[in-house]
Structure 1
């Protein structure tokens, strides 16, 4: 078997729920919902949508939002064991997240090294929260991804690696199309079925460990 390299989503994948949606439900005015619907229906890009949603929130809420997420977010069962499994096997694991640095980094502290985490940035110096895009699309992508998972996949995976994408949502779909295999739940699982992408469903990261153990047996 060619050496696997893993690209794992964060919101709704490593965490049990989508933290951006949780933040919007708790702090944003009602118009965030129509922006979310436009993103899901692909009427606007993820970058446009996420930027617009956070621009509804005053920068003064930074501490309140951060403490809310750290208090309420839950890491999916088996993730700590999964990280240990990848380290033990020498399998590269990258977290590629459409989430924002001010909550992604603290939630992953003690799980994954910062240099293996790729997410969007934030600027609280203005009146409202401005999202920054340190990992935006390369010349091969015009999707306005925000944190461009296909671009990161091209940049970080060797040509001969088996590229595995783990995810749950619309933000994982473009990378899933480039992957050799997708480990999916929720929206992404339905899309994998619809598009006939090679995939395995999962509920917890113990399921993901079991998938890789099966790969080892087959090889």
Structure 2
């Protein structure tokens, strides 16, 4: 089977979750309850994240972008990982519940933006509002926002072996339909508790080692 990779962004490609960092810096205190409700799966991702961003004035756009550029760090090894996937001919997609306005500036010199699936933030009203261009298909009713399982079903074929790389509860539905999961943090705990085939990672050098070992065995 041909490998294909779906990789999360916040907390996976970057060392921290950029939405959480933005909220800690710019949002009023009520964002924390929304965040907790999303992580505990009491409310949908799209509802929680949409409401969090609606707490922020659109006039903060330049300040937020500057803040993310100054504070977000790409996890070590990501550039080499992207180069490996190109050389090996392995399709690689970023699937993220994050926002275009901070993802694009962070990866546009490393990764083709045409292979990035994320949400769109708009700043033409008083408060920031979010557009969800990759909503759930008829097989998912979780109101994911950016529905990773739906994107996987749309792109991956029957002959593809899917890898999912992620870190959070927001990657769990995608992980459940993956051939193999490369996980850290909350997603790693979920993979262990649910018995999903997986390995843990901290850097993309770890991811590279895992992929090379698995693809060599398959070959």
Give the structure-1-normalised TM-score: 0.99
Q: Which residue of 2 aligns with 1:30?
A: 29
Task: Map 1:20-169 onto structure 2 (within 5 A).
Answer: 20-169=19-168
CA distance in structure 2 between the partners assigned to 1:61 and 1:146 by the alignment: 23
Alpha-carbon deviation of 1:217? 2.4
Q: Which moved more, 1:183-192 or 1:207-216?
A: 207-216
Q: Distance in 1 between matches of 2:54 and 2:125?
A: 10
- Where do 5+ consecutive residues of structure 1 fail to align? none
Verify: 1:193 aligned to 2:192, yes or no. Answer: yes
**Cα deviation 1:151-206 (Å, max 9, x = unaligned):** 00000111110010000001100000000100000000000000000001000000
Shift in Å, 1:34:
0.4
The 2-side partners of 1:157 and 1:110 are apart by 26
Superposed CA offset, 1:108-155 (max 9, x none): 111111110000001101110001101111111110000000000000
CA separation in 1, counterparts of 2:123 and 2:87? 39
Cα distance in 2, alignment partners of residues 187 and 35 from structure 1: 18
Q: Distance in 2 between matches of 1:152 and 1:173?
A: 14
Give the unaligned 5+ runs of structure 2. Answer: none
Report the CA distance between 1:216 and its aligned residue: 2.6
State how far apart, in whole Å, the 1-side matches of 2:212 and 2:132 are: 36
Per-residue CA distance 1:20-44 (angstroms, 9 max, x = gap): 0000000000000000000011000
Q: Name the residue aligned to 1:5.
A: 4
CA–CA distance in structure 2, aligned partners of residues 131 and 211 of structure 1: 35
Match in the other structure for 2:206: 207
Structure 2: distance between partners of 1:217 and 1:166:
19
Which secondary structure state, in structure 2, belongs to the residue aligned with residue 166 of structure 1?
Answer: strand
- Aligned to 2:21, the other structure's residue is in SS state helix
The offset of 1:212, in angstroms, is 1.2
